[in-house]
Every structure is written in C-alpha cells, then in structure tokens.
Amino acid sequence: GAGVSQSPSNKVTEKGKDVELRCDPISGHTALYWYRQSLGQGLEFLIYFQGNSAPDKSGLPSDRFSAERTGGSVSTLTIQRTQQEDSAVYLCASSLAPSPGQGSGGYTFGSGTRLTVV
C-alpha cells in the first residue's frame, strides 16, 4: 500500500482482556517498529524488527506485551491482561533502510491505534 496501515484505529477494552493490534507496513520495507505514545508524552520505543534478525524487544514494558512479524510483512502487537496504564496510542512505523541514518533514514508512521482500557 501507499502508507503504513494500522487497525483498528480505536479500541476500547475491559481491564484484564487481551488485545491485538495490527500493522501493515509499506511493501518492501524491511524494518518495522512499534512505539507507544501516552497522553502528552513522547514516543516510547517498544520493539523493532529487521528482516530475519532476532527482534529488539528491549522496550517492551512487561511480559504482558509481545509482538510478532509474519513473513517479513504484517506485524501484530499483543497485550495480555490489559491494565488501565496500557491506555495510549500505539504507533507502528516502517523503514526501507535497516537502521536510522542509512539511505533516506526516515520512518513512515501509521496513524496509530488508540487503546482505551476501562
């Protein structure tokens, strides 16, 4: 597609439920990133996939968070047993270059999934 597509755009869930957030990157982009943006806060890194390499999971806040990327394309971020503090906008980005600064260097972000845990 022309851009990074994320679904759903909004998700309201009850505390304790599991949620899955989907990201469809730009075709051919080898790098895929998940970030979290809480109200009035910056972008918090969660996880990074690059090709067939092991993902960089160093930003995942707890073992309730996991992500996978199937076939080097679509990625799913799963949050188990959601808590109210998980409420945030979850942003996915993809990049043609394997790491920042290479090639054009820029990320293309999706519009995000706004998660509300009630």
Partner 1 sequence: QQQVKQSPQSLIVQKGGIPIINCAYENTAFDYFPWYQQFPGKGPALLIAIRPDVSEKKEGRFTISFNKSAKQFSLHIMDSQPGDSATYFCAAGSGNTGKLIFGQGTTLQVKP
Residues in the site for partner 1, rule: CB under 8 A?
4, 33, 35, 40-45, 48, 50, 56, 91, 93, 98-102, 105-112
Question: Residue 53 CB: number of other CB atoms within 10 A?
Answer: 11
* Shorter beta-carbon distance to partner 1: residue 61 or 98: 98
- Continuous segment of H or E residues that includes residue 113: strand 113-117
Taking the complex as a whole, the smallest distance from the CB of residue 88 to partner 1 amounts, in Å, to 14
The runs of H, that is alpha helices, within 8-71 are none
- Pick 14 or 27: Cβ nearer partner 1: 27
- Closest distance between partner 1 and the C-beta of residue 81, in Å? 26
